[in-house]
Chains A and B, each alone.
Chain A
Amino acid sequence: MTADLNATGATRLIWLLPVLPLAGFAVNVLFGQRLRALAGWIATLAVAASFAIAVAALFELLSQPADARTQILRGYEWFVSGDLRVAFDLRWDPLSAVMALVVTGVSSLIHLYSMGYMGHDDRRETFFAWLNLFVASMLVLVLAQNFLVMFLGWEGVGLCSYLLVGFWFNRRLLLVNPLGRLVEGEPDDTREVWAPPAAKKAFLANRIGDVGFLLAMFLIFATTGSLDFDVVFGQAGTLAAGTATAIALLLFFACTGKSAQIPLYVWLPDAMAGPTPVSALIHAATMVTAGVFLVARTHVLFETSGTAQTVVVLVGAGTALLAALIAIGQDDIKKILAYSTVSQLGYMFIGVGLGPIGYAAGMLHLVTHAFFKAQLFLGAGSVMHANDEDTDIKHFGGLRSAMPITFWTTMAAWAAIIGVPLTAGFYSKDQVLAALFEHGGVGRLAWVIGVVTAGLTAFYMSRYVFLTFFGERRWPEGRHPHESPPVMTLPLIVLAVLAVVAGVALTTFTGEGGRFQDFLEPVLGGPTEHESLTAAFWLSAVATLMAAAGGVVAWLLYIRPFDWLALRRRYAGAWRALADRLYVDQVYEFFTVTLGGAFAAFLARTVDQRGIDGAVNGVAELVGDGARSGRRLQSGLVRSYALAVLGGAVLIVAFLVFRP
Chain B
Amino acid sequence: MSPVLAATASEQAELIVFIVLAPLAVVTALGMVLSRNAVYSALLLVVNFFCLAGFYVLLEAQFVAAVQVIVYAGAIMVLFLFVLMLLGVESHEALRETIKGQRPAAVLLALGLLVAVVAAIFAGVFDAEPTSLAAANEGGNVQAVGRLLFTRYTFAFEIAGVLLVVAAVGALVLGKRQRP
Decide: A639 and B116 in contact? CB cutoff 8 A.
Answer: no
Decide: A640 and B99 in contact? CB cutoff 8 A.
Answer: yes
Inter-chain contacts of B99 with A (CB < 8 A): 635, 637, 639-640
How many residues of chain A have a CB within 8 Å of chain B? 14
Inter-chain contacts of A647 with B (CB < 8 A): 105, 109
Q: Given A637-B99, A639-B99, A646-B113, are A657 and B106 neighbors across the interface (CB < 8 Å)?
A: no
Q: Given A640-B99, A643-B105, A643-B106, are A657 and B120 neighbors across the interface (CB < 8 Å)?
A: yes
**B141-168 at interface with A (beta carbon < 8 Å):** none
Decide: A654 and B116 in contact? CB cutoff 8 A.
Answer: yes
Decide: A654 and B112 in contact? CB cutoff 8 A.
Answer: yes
Interface 1/0 per residue, B77-109 and A, CB below 8 Å? 000000000000000000000010010011001
Complex CA distance for A646 and B120, rounded to whole angstroms: 18
- CB of B123 within 8 A of chain A? yes
B5 to A: closest C-beta gap in Å: 30
A639 to B: closest C-beta gap in Å: 6
- CB of B172 within 8 A of chain A? no
B149 to A: closest C-beta gap in Å: 31
B120 to A: closest C-beta gap in Å: 5
Q: Given A637-B99, A640-B99, are A650 and B106 neighbors across the interface (CB < 8 Å)?
A: no
- CB of B117 within 8 A of chain A? yes
Complex CA distance for A656 and B124, rounded to whole angstroms: 13
Complex CA distance for A650 and B113, rounded to whole angstroms: 5
- CB of A649 within 8 A of chain B? yes
Interface 1/0 per residue, A381-405 and B, CB below 8 Å? 0000000000000000000000000
Interface 1/0 per residue, A627-653 and B, CB below 8 Å? 000000001010110010011011001
- CB of A658 within 8 A of chain B? yes
Complex CA distance for A654 and B109, rounded to whole angstroms: 11
Inter-chain contacts of B102 with A (CB < 8 A): 639-640, 643
Inter-chain contacts of B105 with A (CB < 8 A): 643, 647
Complex CA distance for A256 and B116, rounded to whole angstroms: 89
Complex CA distance for A635 and B113, rounded to whole angstroms: 25
* Consensus secondary structure, chain A interface: helix
Complex CA distance for A58 and B40, rounded to whole angstroms: 125
Decide: A657 and B116 in contact? CB cutoff 8 A.
Answer: yes
Decide: A657 and B112 in contact? CB cutoff 8 A.
Answer: no
Complex CA distance for A634 and B119, rounded to whole angstroms: 34
Decide: B109 and A657 in contact? CB cutoff 8 A.
Answer: no
A647's closest neighbor in chain B, by CB?
B109
Decide: A650 and B123 in contact? CB cutoff 8 A.
Answer: no
B133 to A: closest C-beta gap in Å: 28
Inter-chain contacts of A658 with B (CB < 8 A): 116, 119
Complex CA distance for A140 and B72, rounded to whole angstroms: 107
B9 to A: closest C-beta gap in Å: 37
Interface 1/0 per residue, A601-643 and B, CB below 8 Å? 0000000000000000000000000000000000101011001
B119's closest neighbor in chain A, by CB?
A657
Q: Given A639-B99, A640-B99, A643-B105, are A649 and B120 neighbors across the interface (CB < 8 Å)?
A: no
A95 to B: closest C-beta gap in Å: 95
Inter-chain contacts of A643 with B (CB < 8 A): 102, 105-106, 109
Complex CA distance for A635 and B102, rounded to whole angstroms: 13
Inter-chain contacts of B123 with A (CB < 8 A): 657
Complex CA distance for A646 and B102, rounded to whole angstroms: 12
B109 to A: closest C-beta gap in Å: 5
Complex CA distance for A646 and B117, rounded to whole angstroms: 14
A645's closest neighbor in chain B, by CB?
B109
B33 to A: closest C-beta gap in Å: 14
B49 to A: closest C-beta gap in Å: 23
Inter-chain contacts of B109 with A (CB < 8 A): 643, 646-647, 650
A640's closest neighbor in chain B, by CB?
B99
Inter-chain contacts of A637 with B (CB < 8 A): 99
Decide: A653 and B113 in contact? CB cutoff 8 A.
Answer: yes
B111's closest neighbor in chain A, by CB?
A650
Inter-chain contacts of A650 with B (CB < 8 A): 109, 112-113, 116
A635's closest neighbor in chain B, by CB?
B99
Most-contacted residue by chain A among B99, B102, B106, B109 (CB, 10 A): B109
B58 to A: closest C-beta gap in Å: 27
B115 to A: closest C-beta gap in Å: 8
Inter-chain contacts of A654 with B (CB < 8 A): 112, 116
Inter-chain contacts of A639 with B (CB < 8 A): 99, 102
Complex CA distance for A218 and B120, rounded to whole angstroms: 82
Inter-chain contacts of B106 with A (CB < 8 A): 643, 646
Complex CA distance for A525 and B142, rounded to whole angstroms: 130
A649 to B: closest C-beta gap in Å: 7
A406 to B: closest C-beta gap in Å: 99
Complex CA distance for A653 and B113, rounded to whole angstroms: 8
B101 to A: closest C-beta gap in Å: 9
A652's closest neighbor in chain B, by CB?
B116
Complex CA distance for A640 and B105, rounded to whole angstroms: 10
B126 to A: closest C-beta gap in Å: 16
Inter-chain contacts of A640 with B (CB < 8 A): 99, 102
Inter-chain contacts of A649 with B (CB < 8 A): 113
Inter-chain contacts of A653 with B (CB < 8 A): 113, 116-117, 120
B75 to A: closest C-beta gap in Å: 26
Complex CA distance for A511 and B102, rounded to whole angstroms: 119
A646's closest neighbor in chain B, by CB?
B109
A426 to B: closest C-beta gap in Å: 105
Most-contacted residue by chain B among A650, A654, A658 (CB, 10 A): A650
Complex CA distance for A654 and B115, rounded to whole angstroms: 9
Complex CA distance for A640 and B97, rounded to whole angstroms: 12
B117 to A: closest C-beta gap in Å: 7
**A335-364 at interface with B (beta carbon < 8 Å):** none
B contacts, CB < 8 Å to A: 99, 102, 105-106, 109-110, 112-113, 116-117, 119-120, 123
Give me 5 other A-B pairs in contact (C-beta within 8 A), A643-B102, A646-B110, A650-B109 excluded. A640-B99, A646-B106, A653-B113, A657-B117, A657-B123
A-B contact pairs, 25 of them (CB 8 A): A635-B99, A639-B102, A640-B99, A640-B102, A643-B102, A643-B105, A643-B106, A646-B106, A646-B109, A646-B110, A647-B105, A647-B109, A649-B113, A650-B109, A650-B113, A650-B116, A653-B113, A653-B116, A654-B112, A656-B120, A657-B116, A657-B117, A657-B123, A658-B116, A658-B119
Enumerate the 4 nearest inter-chain pairs by beta-carbon distance, A residue then B residue, closest first.
A653-B116, A657-B120, A650-B112, A654-B116
